[in-house]
Amino acid sequence: MVTAPPLVVIQGPTASGKTALGIALAQAQNGEIVSADSRQVYRLMDIGTAKPTSQERAAAPHHLIDLVYPDEDFALADYLTQARAVIDVVHARGRLPLLIGGTGQYITALLEGWTIPHVPPNDALRAELTHEAEQIGSAALHERLRERDPAAAAEIHPNNLRRVIRALEVIQETGKRFSDLRRKQPPPYHTIHISLTGARDALYARADCRFDQMMAEGLLDEVRGLLDAGYAHSLPSMSGLGYAELCAHLLDGETLPDAVQRAKFNTHNFIRRQLTWFRGHDQGVTWYDVGEVSQTLIVDDVAERLQRHR
């Protein structure tokens, strides 16, 4: 009997320690890290996306980082195509792929085998829908999506305007429902899926500390440099945590302390949304509270499960 190739998945909210755990596992299990982070795909955006440092990348191979420039499109379909190819290459080398990140949609789509339509962006339609949302509100666009595709609307939060617009765009361009085009063909992996969690206050404190460190490392200069290079604050890439708030400071006159505090508050909200997603897609997931268990324990647990699979 042919044994399904293994895939270790490590998910968790912002600042929960995924990178350090992934490197420890990669070193212990002859592994390579496949990023599942929708912000780390952008070049020139290093500090605010908490990309692995050069030292961390030297400690373990990393993939799917620095793929496109901030003004280039990178859709879920692009991610899935590249992630599947990289995982196959890592398996072919006889090494262990470690899918690691906090973008729940990337992880769920890969593990459930979503088939995403390759529909090129229609910039004129996107601009029209964005303008419409400014006039009538994003909730009205979400209601339109619900009328045309209830299943897609149920999966997309009304406040996630970018995804609402993308779903409407696909429907208009193809004449088919977005949800019908997202067929599922689960991949043939033996998956060991773990999720990091912790007390909310502790996770918030970790995220606040990390944002302070980002500021100390030059995040404000990074954002200023992107704007000076001509990357508009309205780009999807610039809507990321930290970037949007610091753009408001640099362009709209918001005080720096207020921008920093707002970035931290928005990060707390994001952590809540991440945990909600992970808990809504937790079939077969083993949870570890980072405030209660050590990294060594998790590495040993994964090693034992891999050994049983072999």
The percentage of residues in the chain with a pLDDT greater than 70, rounded to a whole number, is 99
Q: What mean pLDDT, rounded, does the chain reach?
A: 95
Please list the residue range(s) of the chain that carry CATH number 1.10.20.140.
123-181
The percentage of residues in the chain with a pLDDT greater than 90, rounded to a whole number, is 89
Indicate whether 183 pLDDT > 90.
no
Third-level CATH fold of 6-116+184-309: Rossmann fold (3.40.50)
Rounded alpha-carbon distances, angstroms, from residue 56 to 34, 100, 179, 213, 284? 14, 14, 38, 17, 29
Instruction: Render the burial of 215-226: b for 16+ CB within 10 Å, e for the rest.
Output: beeebbebbeeb
Q: What is the pLDDT of residue 2?
A: 59
Indicate whether 186 pLDDT > 70.
yes
Name the token pair of 73: 């499109």
Confidence band for 116, pLDDT divided at 50, 70 and 90: confident
Indicate whether 181 pLDDT > 80.
no
Indicate whether 40 pLDDT > 90.
yes
Q: What is the pLDDT of residue 309?
A: 85
pTM of the prediction? 0.87
Name the token pair of 205: 């404190």
Confidence band for 180, pLDDT divided at 50, 70 and 90: confident
Indicate whether 218 pLDDT > 80.
yes
Span 66-108, pLDDT tens digits:
999 999 999 899 999 999 999 999 999 999 999 999 999 999 9
The DSSP line for the chain is: -PPPPEEEEEE--TTSSHHHHHHHHHHHHTEEEEE--SSTTBTT--TTTTPPPHHHHHHS-EES-S-B-TTS---HHHHHHHHHHHHHHHHHTT-EEEEEES-HHHHHHHHHTEE-------HHHHHHHHHHHHHH-HHHHHHHHHHH-HHHHHHS-TT-HHHHHHHHHHHHHHSS-HHHH-EE---S-EEEEEEEE--HHHHHHHHHHHHHHHHHHTHHHHHHHHHHTT--TTSGGGGSTTHHHHHHHHHH---HHHHHHHHHHHHHHHHHHHHHHHHHT-TTEEEEETTTS-HHHHHHHHHHHHHHH-
Find, among 287, 307, 283, the residue nearest to 298 by Cα. Answer: 287
Q: Per CATH, is 123-181 categorized as 1.10.20.140?
A: yes
Please list the residue range(s) of the chain that carry CATH number 3.40.50.300.
6-116+184-309
Span 265-303, pLDDT tens digits:
999 999 999 999 999 999 899 999 999 999 999 999 999
